[in-house]
Amino acid sequence: MNKTLGDSQSVAAMRNTFVARGVATAHPIIASRAAGAYLWDEAGRKYLDFVGGIGVLNIGHNHPAVVAAVQEQLESFSHVCFQVVAYEPYIRLAARLSELVAPGQGYKSVFLTTGAEAVENAIKIARGYTNRPGVIAFRGGFHGRTLLGMSLTGMSAPYKQNFGPFAPDVYHAPYPNAYHGFTSDDALKALDTIFSTQIQADRVAAIILEPVQGDGGFLAAPPEFMQALRELTTKHGIVLICDEIQTGFGRTGKMFGFQHSDIQPDLITVAKSLAGGLPISGVVGRAEIIDAPTPGGLGGTYGGNPLACAAANAVLDIFECENLLERSREIGEKLRAGLEALKEKHVEMGEIRQIGAMVAVEFVTDAQTKAPDSALVQRVLDAAREEGLLVIKCGVDRNVVRFLSPLNISEQDISDALGMFGRALKSLKA
């Protein structure tokens, strides 16, 4: 077999012949290289990448500090397995996350490889600690594609399809959504109903939620809702898990999404932007909870791989040197202002949501009924790509466009992205 497959057309054709169709690809282009906020396809066309491997590249593609850290680690060793021999980059990363998540409180970590695995482990830990079976997750939440991950996920197609039976003892509560008139109070009442009709609170091991639902449409849980959840979980001895896989590492303008609500979760899951593109995930949590499993109960051959730990430590160094949290807020505000200006000309832009650099537009067929316009969103994504901007969709109805730019992006690139998005919207009306 040749080392490369030839021109981009033949690669695209072979993709359909040899790659399972269940692995969808949002944009029909073949990547050839990437740097910072840009990605080039095989034909040499340059795109502004506002997807970043789905929220993985808060510091952009191929950050030189990450590349150097991985190269240096590669020269020492690439894998020994932490369950066999410990290594410093893993331990240092755990110490740093402890200080970032809960300064001075002695939180501990376990590292895995994917986000779904981190979620699985967080639930294992919560069940092991409480000795209870139940888990409450939220409608519209996304927690991964493994059996427990998809069972926790609160979206049917395409994640659950006919993949059941699902893991038992998982219950879904509605998540607040101000735009559609569902308040924090409504959501709290619904939780009470779950306790009275489906599972008693003292049989619930964990409540897991994303502080801002990512795949569910960039919906932020109001602080009062997070605070009420914290109170309720403490009262009933339930472990509160924040899934920070998409919201972590500055994406919301704070290091973690839960920090907007002034609460302290018991466990958090991290992945994606932790390591600038290298695969690593983790659970960070209160020592007495995370230490419930006995030695051997947690881990995985590749969990906390040394190259990924080196990359993650480099990412945290970058956060220490560059003011990315402030930048995240500035980026979000600039994007929001640009999108608000576009909304004046485009009534189909129903709501613009922004928290830090997490920015999204919900497209509707009618501003009054707020009925989802998912067909339009697909056309918007295609038109934006034609203009040179890569974005993807989200939302239970797939009618939301999400913007996930690097946090070290230039002002010019943000302006360019807004220009491209505006031209894309206009082109659909021509």
Using CB under 6 A, which of the segments 27-35, 176-184, 193-201, 208-216 binds ligand PLP?
208-216
Residue number with CB closer to ligand PLP (73 or 213): 213
**Of 57-65, 142-150, 258-266, 339-347: span binding ligand PLP (CB under 6 A):** 142-150
With b for 16 or more beta-carbon neighbours within 10 A and e for fewer, the 20-36 pattern comes to eeeeeeebebbeeebeb
Query: Would you count residue 259 as binding ligand PLP (CB under 6 A)?
Result: no
Quote the least distance from Cβ 162 to ligand PLP, whole Å.
21
Between 215 and 387, whose beta carbon lies closer to ligand PLP? 215
CB of 142 to ligand PLP, least distance (A): 5
The CB-of-326 to ligand PLP minimum distance in angstroms stands at 24
Q: How far is the CB of 269 from ligand PLP (least distance, A)?
A: 7
245 contacts ligand PLP (rule: CB under 6 A): yes
CB 79 within 8 A of CB 113: no
Interaction of residue 246 with ligand PLP, rule CB under 6 A = yes
Tokens coding 260: 């907007």
Q: Is 150 in the site for ligand PLP (CB under 6 A)?
A: no
Q: Which residue is nearest to ligand PLP (CB)?
A: 115
Count of residues touching ligand PLP (by CB under 6 A) = 15
Q: Minimum distance between the CB of residue 270 and ligand PLP, rounded to whole angstroms? A: 10
Minimum separation from the CB atom of position 70 to ligand PLP (A): 19
Region of 16-24, 113-121, 224-232, 313-321 interacting with ligand PLP (CB under 6 A) = 113-121
Which of 134, 144, 211, 303 is in the footprint of ligand PLP by CB under 6 A? 144
Contact code string over 213-242 relative to ligand PLP, x by CB under 6 A: -xx---------------------------
- Site for ligand PLP, rule CB under 6 A: 54, 114-116, 119, 142-144, 210, 214-215, 243, 245-246, 271
